Chains A and B, each alone.
Chain A
Amino acid sequence: MRSFILTAALLIAALYPYQGHAADDLDLRLKKLESEMTRQTGTIETQQNTINSLKEELNRSKPKDDLAIQPAKPVEGKSSGLFGGSLMSNPYISVILDAKGYVSNLKNSQLAERGIPGFASEGSGLRNGFNVDAAELMIFAPVDPYFNLYTNIPVTKDGAELEEAYFITTSLPAGLQVKGGRFKSNASRLNAQHPHAWNFAELPLAYRSFLGAEALGGENGVQLTWLPSLPVYTLFGVEVLQGDNPLLFGDNSNWGPHAYTAFARLSFDTTDNSTFYISPWVMFGKTKSSAILPADQTTGNSFELKGDSSLYGIEAVWKWKSGKHKLTLQGEYLYLAQKGDLTENDTAGAAVNTEPLKRRQDGAYVQAVYHLDRLGIGARYDRMELFTDTFERSGAQQSFGSKPWRLSAMTEYELSEFSRIRFQFNHDRSARDGRVNNEGILQFTFTIGAHGAHAF
């Protein structure tokens, strides 16, 4: 076999038509061909060796026709695992790098203080130039037959941070499951997603407006979910959380757990290739936040809200996947009801004024993402204050300017399942001041280590 190929290669090399290429071009092509031949010969040899050794093994063990009397025992020495099936790693480890190049018509100083007036005072966090937010280190494994453990530690230039560390039970009866520790709330599907799984470079505007750029983020708490044994998928869940999110809840030394969520999910396949999903949810609790309004520009006074908040949401998704084509349509509506006392503090921290604050605001997004094999395109439209824009201080409606909205378009290419390049353009009018932010984002996402989950 080998000599056959080598002879053929030599023959071809000798007869290779000289078509006026430069001599080194021909040389190059010949070398390429030669190395290819060597590689292929190697493959054949390996296969032949495997064949020989397996045949020997078979001959030694038994004749092939006695299939019926074979004992039903597993082939020995075979190891496989639950998560990565990896022979080398228990626990399973993966690292995810999310690197962004960013350009905007605005200066970095303008970007940093570009909040969404009436919702959140913080900017999006991206700066012109290179952005590497974090390398996410994920470690996970079964603890024993009763628990799985997951940790997610983003390492930033300031150090490591414990974003998530939680257990999930695996042996409770009746479709019950408990999750506890520090985790991203599953109340909303997007809230629990990690940044590398997002369809766009950032979360929808409504999430940033009500929860912050990273949604609720890691929260200490406990969760109970129930999956009843029904013909269709229905999931019910409740959570009790510490409530550290600085925008919707906030820390107070006198409070214990003061944030709660409840959610339901319903999903069924509309055809063999398509699935519908709908999920209403609510997050509610006590709020102590100074991230809603920015400091007064003339006096420097800051504003802090102490009160109660309820954030309602409903998400709907329809996915269609056939062969190499995949289309996802999704949308979500969020509604905030908030009430409390707004305290104005001077720069020394002394309260100068307290007045009642009442908010009834909403926001929504719709998006479509289409994939053909490795190439994807998508568009998203964000809009705040669709049906209600109540923001009353002492009963007086505040006016912040035109309603925030944003339009995004992205295209992405996956070189393999483990690396992705995405280009996104945003036309962002969320700052209400008539000043547009046209931003371009080039995002690189890389994964090494354990295989990630193809979650719905």
Chain B
Amino acid sequence: MLRNFVTLFVLLMLAAPAQAAVKVVATLPWIGNLAREVGWDKVIVTTLVKPSQDPHTVEAKPSMIIAGRKADIFMYNGLDLEIGYLPLILESAKNPAIMPGTSGNFDCSKFVRVIEKHTHADRSMGDLHHLGNPHYHYSASNIVNVAEGISGALAAKDPANAAFYRNNYKNFASRVAAHEKKWRSANLAGKRYIAHHKMFEYMALDYDFFIVAYIEPKPGIPPSAAYLESLIELMNIIKPDGILVTGLSGQKEAEFLSQKTGVKVKTLPADTGAMPGTDDWISFMDTVINKLKQ
């Protein structure tokens, strides 16, 4: 009995490295999508956080730890977005290949022009990410940079297919560039929005619109009734073009504000796969821009 067990064990352990594909573990859906975009059939991608889950509050589940154990490359958003579970997963996975400082530890934010860095931050200001705004996945220029970073990281793990990864990246970049023209013609410049969380600042930069106020008085802190009251007064003056929320949080408050002011709520996908027709990054961004245009 015991011998059978041991044999089964050994077999299972040998079975895993038999596949040649690079095993990528990505924390967020969009990262997994980018890895697939660049790696195609040469990678096996496991995504830890589901599109319906808030990446701020995820718990380090054992299934995530075992995924980390088997990863060749571990890709994450960075800028402290995954601070609650990433360090725990990396340490508990007992996989030296993905520890910080190795080629298997890929911090996507290293390829991003980070905005809103705070030299001074304490938690009376809310749950501020003082390394900078971590929600850069709404930004075409940054996403293309990250995709190129991924192509380099995959090439380092699998040099035989370096040209393949590079080509896929170039292909992705030119498709994004083509779409970007369309997105720019959506004429979002000068529009003024209210947002629930500091999610859309990179996009505001890219397309020259404004987030004039937030439903959260401070990041991660829910609004009081008095604060919502003052927001209504402000909205009646400013007459914003919409209230931006994602499916993850803030919808109730947004609906309330909308009722009081008549300003429309625009629910944007929080990540790829969060809404129908957002399965890859380009269609995700298409949906975002279309929702803003409406």
Contacts and interface: CB of A to CB of B under 8 A. Distances in A.
B11 to A, nearest CB: 11
A140 B29 CA distance: 30
B230 interface: yes
Interface in A216-239: 225-233, 235
A51 interface: yes
Contact of A225 (B13, B16, B94, B174): B94
Interface string B23-66: 00000000000000000000000000010110001111111011
A434 interface: no
Contacts of A80: 78-80, 107, 109-110, 131
Interface stretch (A128-136, A267-275, A289-297): A267-275
Contacts of B13: 228-230
A322 B52 CA distance: 8
A330 interface: no
B204 interface: yes
A47 B238 CA distance: 17
Interface string A18-53: 000000000000001100110010011001001100
Interface string B163-198: 000000010011011000000000000000000000
Contact of A78 (B114, B211, B238): B114
A85 B79 contact: yes
A455 B99 contact: no
A416 B220 contact: yes
A203 B133 CA distance: 39
A136 to B, nearest CB: 17
Contacts of A324: 249
Kindly name the residue among A50, A225, A229 whose own CB sees the greatest number of chain B CB atoms within 10 A. Answer: A229
B113 A54 contact: yes
A208 B74 CA distance: 41
Contact of A175 (B12, B85, B94): B94
Interface string A225-262: 11111111101000000000000000000000000000
Contacts of A230: 9, 12-13, 66
A454 B65 CA distance: 13
Interface in B96-127: 96, 99-101, 107, 109-116, 123, 126-127
Nearest to B142: A75
Which of under 10, 10 to 19, 20 to 34, or 35 or more describes the interface residues of B?
A: 35 or more
B264 interface: no
A349 interface: no
Interface stretch (A63-71, A108-116, A402-410): A63-71
A160 interface: no
B10 to A, nearest CB: 10
B223 interface: no
B157 interface: no
Which of under 10, 10 to 19, 20 to 34, or 35 or more describes the interface residues of A?
A: 35 or more
B114 A448 contact: no
A265 B62 contact: yes
A159 interface: no
Contact of A455 (B52, B59, B66, B233): B59
Nearest to A265: B62
Contact of A83 (B50, B65, B87): B87
A68 B178 CA distance: 12
Interface string A433-453: 000000000000000100111
Given A50-B116, A85-B83, A68 B174 contact: yes
Nearest to B211: A47
A267 B236 CA distance: 52
Contacts of B61: 267, 269, 275, 456
A229 B70 contact: yes
B262 interface: no
A348 interface: no
B287 interface: no
A454 B237 contact: no
B278 interface: no
A142 B99 CA distance: 11
Contacts of A455: 59-60, 88
A93 to B, nearest CB: 14
B183 to A, nearest CB: 12
B176 A67 contact: yes
B281 interface: no
Given A321-B59, A416-B123, A448-B123, A12 B237 contact: yes
Kindly name the residue among B79, B91, B177 whose own CB sees the greatest number of chain A CB atoms within 10 A. Answer: B91
Given A75-B111, A277-B62, A32 B149 contact: no
Interface stretch (A165-173, A305-313, A389-397): A165-173
Contact of A418 (B123, B148, B151, B205): B123
Interface string A65-106: 101101010110011101111110000000000000000000
A299 to B, nearest CB: 52
Contact of A454 (B60, B90, B94, B126): B60
Given A54-B205, A453-B88, A145 B99 contact: yes
Nearest to B89: A453
B112 A453 contact: no
Contact of A40 (B50, B66, B96, B234): B234
Given A83-B87, A272-B50, A453-B85, A175 B130 contact: no
Contacts of B151: 72
Interface string B217-230: 00011100000001
A172 B78 CA distance: 25
A354 interface: no
Interface in A340-355: none
Contacts of B123: 416, 418, 448
A215 B170 CA distance: 57
A453 B80 contact: no
A437 B275 CA distance: 53
5 contacts: A75-B145, A230-B12, A235-B62, A454-B60, A456-B61
Given A67-B141, A173-B96, 17 more contacts: A12-B237, A64-B141, A75-B111, A75-B114, A85-B78, A87-B130, A172-B94, A228-B13, A233-B63, A235-B62, A275-B62, A321-B53, A417-B220, A418-B127, A454-B59, A456-B59, A456-B62
The 10 closest A-B pairs by CB, nearest first: A267-B62, A233-B62, A74-B110, A454-B84, A233-B66, A171-B96, A72-B148, A453-B88, A454-B59, A85-B80
